[in-house]
């Protein structure tokens, strides 16, 4: 099966666009990914380190309010704290818009897809109302810079990120024999260690035992986060002595350090089971629910050969013939459905940027919830499900059909002609039935809506 | 007869209850049991000490100088009912409403809503060893093979972890609308003709939407049944929670056996008496709507109202209460033995409180839920203690089920 630009844009990118040409080859796709991240520069999202309001901003405002209680300044301090909360909501809104604009206007769609794939692989859920807007900054800091690099570096960035630390309770974990534990009843919390092995690296049912979970949890002690400093390493919380994870000894230095933890993470990252788990997940996400064993093996082998670099593994996937099979076996998740619709409709940067809060709620966030994907709030640390049956439910389909029929005209002053739009959205060879429907619809908005609601557009 | 073919005709819609997309013409094929279980998650942490007030405990008055104000009327000589819950008193009197007190999930000390709700819905003893993947209602469905998705319904805007997982379950939100012209609908059939997944989901979506927007027979029937119920006079119609309860009732009268949804707003840190009034209204409306809408099926129904944790025994400086530990589970339904407050009361005296501040939980609330599931559905002890609620000791039967 040869490379196909339409499939490249739809299956491995953010979809077709009336103004942006699809990639011309696998080499072209990989070159764009290896090049500068221009779309992120154009629509910036702050990293956790730089974000306003930060958890510390909330804390400061709360402290100011507590100090002002009963004084003349109380009302002003109360107002100030409310403002910080409101700013968090505004920040989140701006991140939704930035993500939409990146998806709608990028020439490097594979990067956007990989960012969402890895952000889901390393799902960090907000654990407090004040963290709700901090998932995007987490992704910007710990995921996005690494999607074309080494998996181990991404893993290290994730494990030292306060959002992941809080999300999986690592801040509550301390070595039972650590100095910090002497004055404290707290002990080891295995949550991060277990998810790290089960979800992030080797994969469930692979070559690790409960003792590996425990040893890894001990190795991770000292990894900590607080509001003031973000992610930090606290030697006083670290369990003394070396730990043996998957047969390799880590740590045991005189003073525990983050380097010992990172050495362990690097070791786990290039375990053969990790290679297979990551390869399989990529194929399941991008190509098919039933991956070709040979492809998974080849990708895993390349990953190990490259010492955990991701680019080579992506290349093996994209060079494989199943990548270009004409049958579209995956369904777009709700965000990608909406974002690729906006891209196909050619909604401009400014229209997205200047959209009011209510418009984004009504046209993006609420419909996503109806379709089963509340913005950045999957129910568990294992992220969003891959199975198409999970998304194409009666309610999910009601959401997709209604969005297709209603939203384009609220986002655009002038809808495209459905007879052209069917080619813009689906490429030069749309299915006969969709072509027929686009021409037979009684209104322009029905015609556009039918194209977007079609399985041909919803699949990739 | 193929249910979908039956629906595609369209004309059958709205003619009878059998036209509902969730009622197969083959009677009662959906689940091997007939009892109904409704799980309501009260998000925000309900103050059990305020809803079911232990006025027989001499320490209560000192802890709650403004919240405990003598407005609550007696239930059983020891506990009194918050006045905003009075609409449920007729159900108390007939043994269809009751409470379990001084209970909680195994969650301790951190008192975070998100973690507390995760533990409540996951049914796990803690989150420290990972494994947050699915909810206990879903695991219950997983042990019964071959269930249809419409057996269980998660309703509302909230993601319901309690019903999420590998077993198929349905979802519906009052936000879900389907707006499509008849012409576009016909063309959509053409477009999806060769893709069974999209075709079937679209057909069902259209069928449900038509049923809802046309207020087809099931909804009308609910209306009629509710109009006949004198208790419904107190219910303010039109709120979202009432819509959800009506929808749940209409499903539960048909093939659905399990429904779950949330009622939010229980986080009463300040001016609790105001907050409690609104949220109590939502819950009492919901229960009364369920009863009226379920009709005869109410007698086979258990409604469990669970919250992530209780609130501090002492009221705070702003007329509210803060995050605590032990609390109450409210329950209703003709399948349960109401008219009683179940539980081993730990006392509110100085040495009695958990960590010096909270009502001490004397039993894992999961045990009560498990006993209800055992009584209604006949699940094995081992299944309950291992698959559904890992780490639970079922313990003695609290006598919740009739």
* B114–chain A nearest CA distance, Å: 6
* Whole-number pLDDT of residue A177: 93
In a domain, B170, yes or no: yes
With respect to residue B321, please indicate whether it lies within any of the assigned structural domains. yes
Evaluate whether residue A369 is within a structural domain: yes
Confirm whether A349 is domain-assigned. yes
- The count of other CB atoms within 10 Å of the CB of residue A57 is 17
Per-residue confidence (pLDDT) for residue B7, from 0 to 100: 29
Total domains in chain A come to 2
Choose the weakest-confidence range: A229-243, A296-310, B71-85, B152-166.
B152-166
Please choose, from the candidates A23, A26, A16, the residue with its C-alpha nearest in 3D space to the C-alpha of residue A314: A26
**Contacting A residues, span 317-356, partner chain B, CB-CB under 8 Å:** none
The C-alpha atoms of residue B46 and residue A290 are separated, in whole angstroms, by: 46
Question: Rounded CA gap, B60 and A246, in Å?
Answer: 55
Residues A252, A363, single domain; the answer is: no
pLDDT for B24 equals: 28
CATH number of the domain bearing residue B255: 3.40.720
Residue B145 corresponds to which tokens in the numbers above? 């093979």
Question: Which residues in chain B (226-245) have CB-CB distances under 8 A to chain A?
Answer: none
- Structural domain includes residue A235: yes
Contact A195 B130 (CB under 8 A): yes
Tell me, yes or no, whether B227 lies in a domain: no
Per-residue pLDDT at A152: 98
pLDDT tens across B313-356, in order? 999 988 999 999 999 999 999 999 999 999 999 999 989 999 99
Which position has the higher pLDDT, B28 or A206? A206
Q: What is the pLDDT of residues A238-255, one digit of tens each?
A: 999 999 999 999 998 889
Percent of chain A past pLDDT 70, that is, above it, reads 100
One domain for residues A425 and A342? yes
**pLDDT value of residue A97:** 97
Question: Which is higher by pLDDT, B159 or A332?
Answer: A332
Does the interface predicted TM-score (ipTM) exceed 0.90? no
Closest CA to A456 of A419, A430, A428, A418: A430
Taking an 8 Å cut-off on Cβ atoms, the answer to whether B187 and A377 are in contact is no
Q: How does residue B212 score in pLDDT terms, banded at 50, 70 and 90?
A: low
Given this model, what pLDDT does residue B230 score? 64
Same domain, A232 and A345: no
Residue A305 within a domain: no
Q: Which residues of A308-345 are buried (b: 16+ CB within 10 A; e: fewer)?
A: bbbbbbbbbbbebebbbbeebbbbbbbbbbbbbbbbbb
Does the residue A316 lie in any domain?
no
Give the nearest partner residue to A127 out of B112, B134, B208, using CB atoms. B112
Number of domains in chain B: 1
Indicate if the pLDDT at residue A116 is higher than 80: yes
Structural domain boundaries, residue B170? 27-176+234-388
Query: Of A225, A247, A269, at which residue does a domain stop?
Result: A269
Shared domain for A355 and A443, answered yes or no, is yes
Range of the domain at A338: 334-458
Interface contact flag, B192 A440, Cβ < 8 Å: no
Q: Are residues A168 and A258 in the same domain?
A: yes
Kindly state whether residues A344 and A449 are assigned to the same domain: yes
In a domain, B203, yes or no: no
Whether A168 is covered by a domain: the verdict is yes
Q: Using CA coordinates, name the residue in chain B closest to A167.
A: B115
Question: What percent of chain A stands above pLDDT 90?
Answer: 87
CB A264 within 8 A of CB A245: yes
Rounded Cα distance, B304 and B40, in Å:
6
Which residues in chain B have Cβ-Cβ distances shorter than 8 Å to A458? 198
Q: Residue window 5-24, chain B: list those with CB within 8 Å of chain A.
A: 21
| Cα B281 off chain centre by | 15
Residues 186-225 of B with CB under 8 A from A: 187-188, 190-195, 197-198, 201-202, 204-209
Hey, are the CB atoms on B197 and A128 less than 8 Å from each other?
Answer: no
Query: Hey, what are A77's tokens?
Result: 């301090």
State how far residue A195 is from chain B, nearest Cα, in angstroms: 6
Confidence of residue B40 (pLDDT cuts 50, 70, 90): very high
For residues B175 and A228, give the distance between their C-alpha atoms in angstroms, rounded to a whole number: 40
pLDDT tens sequence across B271-324:
899 999 999 999 999 999 999 999 999 999 999 999 999 999 999 988 999 999
Flag whether B330 is in a domain: yes
Least confident of A137-141, A409-413, B36-40: A409-413
Pick from A184, A394, A432, A447 the residue to mutate for testing the B interface (most B CBs within 10 Å). A394
CB < 8 Å from B in window 122-181 of A: 125-128, 168-169, 172
CA dihedral B243, B249, B252, B257 (to 10 degrees): 70
* Residue from the list B180, B183, B201 with its beta carbon closest to the beta carbon of A393: B201
Please indicate if any CB of chain A lies within 8 Å of the CB of B184: yes
Q: Are strands B327-332 and B301-307 parallel, antiparallel or unpaired?
A: antiparallel
Give the C-alpha separation, B326 to A299, whole Å: 52
Supply the pLDDT for residue A456: 97
Residue A26: both structure tokens together: 């696998």
Based on the fold, state whether residues A339 and A453 are members of the same structural domain: yes
Place of tokens 């939203």: A407
pLDDT at B16: 29
For residue B253, what pLDDT is reported?
92
- Nearest CA-CA distance, residue B135 and chain A, Å: 10
CA geometry: angle B156, B157, B163, nearest 5 deg: 65
Distance between CA A101 and CA A104 in Å, rounded?
A: 5
Residues A246 and A350 both lie in one domain: no
Q: Could B170 and A446 be called an inter-chain contact, meaning their C-beta atoms sit closer than 8 Å? A: no
Same domain, A260 and A342: no
Report the Cα–Cα distance between both ends of chain B, in Å, rounded: 37
The answer for residues whose C-beta is within 8 angstroms of residue A156's C-beta and 6 or more apart is: A262, A265, A266
Tokens representing B298?
């109410």
- Same-domain check for residues A264 and A343: no
Model pLDDT for residues B98-135, shown as the tens digit of each residue: 999 999 999 998 888 888 998 999 999 888 777 788 99
> Helix axis angle, A74-105 relative to A109-121, nearest 10°?
130
B129 touches chain A (CB under 8 A): yes
| Distance separating alpha carbons of residues A49 and A228, to the nearest angstrom | 11
Cα B150 to Cα A391, B13, B20, B206, B298: the distances in Å are: 16, 18, 11, 16, 19
Confidence of residue A187 (pLDDT cuts 50, 70, 90): confident
Residue B215: is its pLDDT beyond 50? no
**B260 contacts in chain A (CB < 8 Å):** none
Structure confidence at residue B21 as a pLDDT band (50, 70, 90): very low
* A 5-24 residues with CB < 8 A to B: none
Can you tell me the distance from the alpha carbon of A25 to that of A43, in angstroms, rounded to the nearest whole number?
26
Q: In this structure, is residue B193 part of a structural domain?
A: no
- Among B129, B197, B206, beta carbon nearest to A194: B129
Rounded to whole angstroms, what are the CA distances from A355 to A87, A211, A358?
Answer: 17, 52, 8
Longest dimension (CA), chain B: 72
Give the residue-averaged pLDDT of B180-188: 87
Residue B86 CB neighbour total at 10 angstroms: 15
User: B2 pLDDT exceeds 80?
Assistant: no
Say if residues A46 and A140 touch (Cβ distance below 8 Å): yes
CB contact under 8 A, A433 and B191: yes
At residue A429's C-alpha, the angle toward residues A111 and A341, to 5°, is 45
The least confident of A444-448, B6-10, B71-75 is: B6-10
CB under 8 Å to B364, separation ≥6 — which residues?
A: B103, B104, B105, B106, B392, B393
CA of B349, closest CA in chain A: separation in Å?
A: 25
Say whether B176 and A189 touch across the interface (CB within 8 A).
no
Least Cα separation, residue B205 to chain A (angstroms)? 4
Dmax over Cα atoms in chain A, in whole Å? Answer: 77
State pLDDT tens for residues A24-42: 999 999 999 999 999 999 9
Q: Are residues A438 and A346 in the same domain?
A: yes
Pairing label, strands B258-264, B36-43: parallel
For B102, half-sphere exposure in the C-beta direction (CA atoms, 13 angstrom radius) is 18
Query: B237 versus A378: which is more confidently predicted?
Result: A378
Residue B119 lies in a domain: yes
Q: What is the model's pLDDT at position A90?
A: 94
Query: Do A356 and A257 have their domain in common?
Result: no
Q: Do B198 and A392 touch (CB under 8 A)?
A: yes
**Would you state the pLDDT for residue B170?**
84
Within-domain flag for A1: no
- Nearest chain A alpha carbon to B132: A380
Higher-confidence residue of A339 and B6: namely: A339
Over residues B170-180, the mean pLDDT reads 77
Partner B contacted by A28 (CB < 8 A): no
Report yes or no on A231 lying in a domain: yes
Q: pLDDT (tens digit, 9 = 90+) per residue, B128-168?
A: 777 788 999 999 999 888 888 889 999 887 778 899 888 88
Mean local confidence (pLDDT), B371-382: 94
> What is the three-state SS of chain B?
CCHHHHHHCCCCCCCCHHHCCCCCCCCCCCCCCCCEEEEEEEECCCCHHHHEECCCCCCHHHHCCCCCCCCCEECCCCCEECHHHHHHHHHHHCCCEEEEEEEECCCCCCCCHHHHHHHHHHCCCCCCCCCCCCCHHHHHHHCCCCCCHHHEEEECCCCCHHHCCCCCCEEECCCCCCCCCHHHHHHHHHHCCCCHHHHHHHHHHHHHHHHHHCCCHHHHHHHHHHHCCHHHHHCCCCCHHHHHHHHHHHHHHCCCCEEEEEEECCCCCCCHHHHHHHHHHHHHHHHHHHHHHHHHHHHHEEEEEEECCCEECCCCCCCCCCECCCEEEEEECCCECCCCEECCCCCCCHHHCECCCECCCCEEHHHHHHHHHHHHHCCCHHHHHHHHCCCCCCCCCCCCEC
Given A269, A301, A317, the domain boundary residue is A269
Looking at beta carbons, which residues of chain B come within 8 Å of A415? none
């Amino acid at each position: 099966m040869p490379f196909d630009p339409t499939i490249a844009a739809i299956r491995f990118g953010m979809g077709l666009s009336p103004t942006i040409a699809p990639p011309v080859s696998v080499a072209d796709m990989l070159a764009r990914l290896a090049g500068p991240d221009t779309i992120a520069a154009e629509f910036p999202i702050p990293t956790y380190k730089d974000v306003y309001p930060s958890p510390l901003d909330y804390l400061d405002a709360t402290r100011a309010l507590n100090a002002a209680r009963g004084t003349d300044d109380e009302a002003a301090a109360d107002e100030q704290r409310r403002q910080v909360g409101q700013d968090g909501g505004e920040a989140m809104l701006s991140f939704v818009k930035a993500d939409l604009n990146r998806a709608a206007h990028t020439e490097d769609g594979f990067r956007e897809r990989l960012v969402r794939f890895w952000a889901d692989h390393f799902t960090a859920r907000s654990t407090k109302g004040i963290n709700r807007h901090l998932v995007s900054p987490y992704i910007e800091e710990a995921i996005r810079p690494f999607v074309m690099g080494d998996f181990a570096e991404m893993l290290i960035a994730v494990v030292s990120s306060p959002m992941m630390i809080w999300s999986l309770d690592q801040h509550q974990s301390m070595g039972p024999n650590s100095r910090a534990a002497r004055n404290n009843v707290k002990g080891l919390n295995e949550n991060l260690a277990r998810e790290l092995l089960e979800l992030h690296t080797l994969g469930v049912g692979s070559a690790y035992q409960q003792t590996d979970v425990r040893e890894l949890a001990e190795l991770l002690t000292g990894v900590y986060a607080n509001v003031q400093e973000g992610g930090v390493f606290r030697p006083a919380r670290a369990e003394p002595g070396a730990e043996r994870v998957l047969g390799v000894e880590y740590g045991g230095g005189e003073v525990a350090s983050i380097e010992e933890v990172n050495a362990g993470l690097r070791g786990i990252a290039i375990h053969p089971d990790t290679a297979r788990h990551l390869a399989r997940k990529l194929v399941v996400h991008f190509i098919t629910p039933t991956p070709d064993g040979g492809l998974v093996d080849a990708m895993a082998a390349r990953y190990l050969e490259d010492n955990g670099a991701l680019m080579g593994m992506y290349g093996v996937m994209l060079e494989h013939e199943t990548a270009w099979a004409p049958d579209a076996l995956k369904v777009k998740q709700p965000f990608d459905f909406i974002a690729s619709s906006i891209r196909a409709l050619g909604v401009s940067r400014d229209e997205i940027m200047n959209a009011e809060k209510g418009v984004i709620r009504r046209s993006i966030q609420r419909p996503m919830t109806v379709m089963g994907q509340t913005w950045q709030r999957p129910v568990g640390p294992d992220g969003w499900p891959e199975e198409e049956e999970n998304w194409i439910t009666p309610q999910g389909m009601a959401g997709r059909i209604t969005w297709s029929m209603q939203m384009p005209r609220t986002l655009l002053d002038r809808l495209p002609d459905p007879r052209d739009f069917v080619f813009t959205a689906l490429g030069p060879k749309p299915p006969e039935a969709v072509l027929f429907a686009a021409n037979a619809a009684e209104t322009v908005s029905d015609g556009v809506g039918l194209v977007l609601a079609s399985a041909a557009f919803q699949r990739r | 007869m193929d249910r979908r073919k039956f629906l595609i005709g369209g004309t059958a819609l709205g003619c009878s209850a059998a036209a509902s997309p969730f009622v197969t013409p083959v009677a009662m094929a959906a689940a091997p049991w007939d009892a109904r279980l409704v799980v309501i998650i009260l998000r925000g942490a309900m103050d059990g000490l305020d809803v079911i007030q232990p006025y027989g405990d001499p320490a209560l008055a000192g802890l709650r100088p403004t919240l405990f104000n003598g407005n609550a009327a007696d239930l059983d000589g020891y506990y009194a009912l918050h006045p905003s819950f009075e609409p449920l008193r007729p159900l108390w009197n007939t043994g269809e409403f009751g409470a379990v007190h001084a209970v909680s999930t195994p969650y301790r000390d951190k008192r975070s809503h998100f973690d507390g709700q995760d533990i409540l819905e996951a049914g796990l003893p803690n989150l420290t060893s990972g494994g947050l993947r699915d909810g206990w209602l879903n695991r219950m469905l997983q042990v019964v093979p071959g269930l249809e998705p419409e057996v269980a319904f998660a309703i509302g805007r909230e993601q319901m972890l309690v019903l999420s997982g590998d077993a198929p379950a349905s979802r519906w939100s009052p936000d879900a609308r389907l707006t499509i012209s008849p012409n576009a609908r016909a063309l959509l059939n053409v477009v999806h003709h060769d893709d069974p997944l999209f075709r079937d989901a679209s057909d069902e979506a259209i069928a449900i939407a038509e049923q809802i927007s046309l207020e087809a027979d099931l909804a009308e029937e609910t209306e009629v049944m509710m109009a006949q119920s004198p208790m419904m006079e107190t219910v303010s119609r039109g709120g979202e929670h009432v819509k959800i309860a009506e929808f749940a009732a209409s499903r539960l009268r048909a093939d659905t056996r399990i429904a779950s949804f949330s009622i939010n707003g229980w986080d009463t840190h300040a001016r609790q008496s105001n907050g409690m009034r609104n949220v109590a209204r939502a819950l009492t409306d919901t229960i009364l709507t369920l009863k009226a809408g379920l009709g005869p099926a109410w007698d086979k129904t258990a409604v469990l109202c669970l919250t992530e944790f209780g609130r501090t025994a002492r009221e705070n400086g702003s007329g509210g209460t803060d995050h605590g530990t032990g609390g109450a589970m409210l329950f209703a339904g003709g399948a349960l033995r109401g008219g009683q407050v179940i539980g081993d009361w730990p006392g509110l005296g100085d040495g009695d409180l958990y960590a010096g501040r909270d009502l001490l939980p004397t039993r894992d609330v999961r045990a009560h839920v498990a006993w209800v599931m055992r009584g209604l559905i006949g699940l094995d002890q081992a299944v309950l203690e291992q698959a559904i609620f890992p780490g639970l000791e079922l313990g003695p039967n609290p006598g919740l089920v009739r």
